[in-house]
Structure 1
């Protein structure tokens, strides 16, 4: 499509007078406009006129417009109208005063995690409304998110990406998605689902928290390859006060496999709300003062440590206490009944007997027991993991060892590692910068540091040496067991990840063989392609291959580079004549 096409701004479209341009992108231009009948200010998206000549566009346009009409949500820009005027297709939407998330990030670099969570919860509501209407956004990114002064969100461009989804357009064309926020399956041209939008939301959350997208590169092809195969840095590496619960959510959203992400936007919004609730409960330092006057109910007054009371800052405990005090002050017959000891004792017996017979009739199946344990273990490490072990996994292993043994034992190993790490005073994902309490703990933290930066081999050397040193020290049994657990897990993961470098190893061997045959042009093209794909991979093995590739390129004998074959990456970045 000629980027200069349709540069002339129309003065009027339908019943709307066109004003200044307020936005532009690959999917068309947005203008501020005024309804000539109502004087209402609106925003009009004018789609590139070349689209009308694409096969099937008109049908898709009307289909998407009908879907947009059904979608109503406070966090989605309201759709008003659509039409075609002189072969110019357009649709009319709510005009929102504010700034895009992109502009906010340019100004502030990063957004504090609590604000980022609140913004993400609003986006979840918008996505749920869209998904319920059968719409996949396909291009969720910061420039499509408008923030008002109160940090309320409006999500734009729903359905528009689908209008561009013709067989002539590929993902490398940069039209039906933005590389930094595109899910791996979308990058591969596969069918997108609501989990694809959740991946994009994960990338948006990552950039809000850290100031940078999870994957970046010099070319679109390089970014897409990283989306498909690369590993991102944990957000906690850039944000010291980031709760572990929130980091787990972002990492789950950025899973390569869509099935490993959250099932839908509603479940995600509940998990995000839990982060805020857990943080509030874990850091609450409220003290409660009570005053009681005649003929009035007792009302708890919250006095925040070091500050004045704040409206709306009540906690769960405050609400429970208020409910109890109000109940005591009403003096109703119901409250008096519940104050009767014999009534409460009879009620307790009734509940226990009823519960016993209910559970006798409704014993969980092995599959349900396993699923219940999985729900608990999907949460960040916490003491509730012991419930999964004692209530579900151990009984399941005892009753069905042959059928469930392997899967259950794998989960029990994870719980054992957590238990040992808790006793030893160090967690598997420790982020504290405080000094270690002893030498074994110092080496454990050092090994964890190497794991976080991708240097698995160095972490393995340290853990293996630490196990050997602690073997003969009975006083350090717990630390030794934890180091051994981490070492075994690391070796198991290393075996699973060995396949990552099969393609790299084979490609390097092919390039070396081409160079030996004096096919320098082909060898150089292959080495350059590997550098594009793996240069930012922090794994030690990958870095060693990249170092060799660069050395080989530097040591190649001179040859006529004007006829050098181009790699696909180079072709993708070669401008059309």
Structure 2
């Protein structure tokens, strides 16, 4: 046991009351905590003072904080706050009720392959967000994945994450990570890439499917040697009903050469979704209809084998052709002569299979199937494919809406419109800025877009709100005004804004409390007034606004009136 494990946690850090310990790792311990202003439960990670005195640990702790600040994804733990108090470094993050994937596997041994695909697609989304932010996780493993009851995943612990644009945390040849889930290049101390994280995901998928990692050993060195040079057992050796497409994905992820793995997490997520689609296609009633085999007389494994190897029902079709040939020979008819021709048989077989294939591909989809296809596309990260969901599936459905799905279709179309407007704003800003023909409204739209991309959500909303008030509701400005309104609405509904709002308000309330303790009443009152001005109309901030009003009411008039109420326009100028 390390000496820092004997240290007890303080009762309070900053604005947080420390509760029970809920986790531990090489970079400190995690505790359940409560915000004294809002009673919200959070998780707080503490780097003990003993570790803070050891070289490199504070730098790595700050590196983890910087990594989390860049993450905005529903499958990544949200960062809230950080600080240092009495030589104890800490940061505050989202508290997730659930269990680690490690604990889940200890209980269930292994998971159904469909659950594995679902979990892996979520991890792909988390990794894409990480890689897009310029961060390689470098320590993806079951203990860093938290599962909620509904199998929603949260990726945590960026303690050894490496930013693309920075130098390594370790000296040349140093190794950081967990041996069982470490890529060969990482095991050799070489430069890690996005494909290194994908290798780790392949190892995580392997252990979820089989209940064991691809490589194991008595020592870390033995495992690393296997990662570099060893050969693992294919997952199908331990899983009888594993689709061949999924096994091939896992095997490609575990390639020794990074270039042979998938290029990025987005491409991998699409391949994983295809596994579900292919499996459903291979086991559907339509497949049995093509083969002439009833569902009662064929297992899903047989259907899968027939579909992947030689086309649905080709064995049954060949049997029928052979039977027809024998009957024709017995009658001596011209039909018998035709069936005696091998090329005719092969050509007929090809026509039947091709006809069945095109019938299956081109058959009209039901409303439920069209809506399901659209939802599957929209589950992927935002991109041009979303327009396919709109044009091919959602708009045709809206032409003949039903009471059951009309609201769902409109909701999905609204998401696509939101993406289209944001894309348009970003592209317009870049194109116009290069050509020098940017108008004033376009310039402010571009400014708001830059604030959004940099994570400065509050400043983006200030710019958009001011622009909406400034633009007249006239035809020549209507397009830009509508665009600004849509961007502001999207911003207010963005779940990522919750964390940003929480950080800003918590830090502001903490600042006001500190000023109050120093008896700087006017300055504290100015902070509370600023909170009321900026967030007074925001229902999600009502608790903070109400607390600010209570504090103001408790101050004598002569103590709170020395500093005028800040105006939103002034705050905007200062922030810029």
Higher helix share: 2
TM-score (norm 1): 0.48
TM-score (norm 2): 0.48
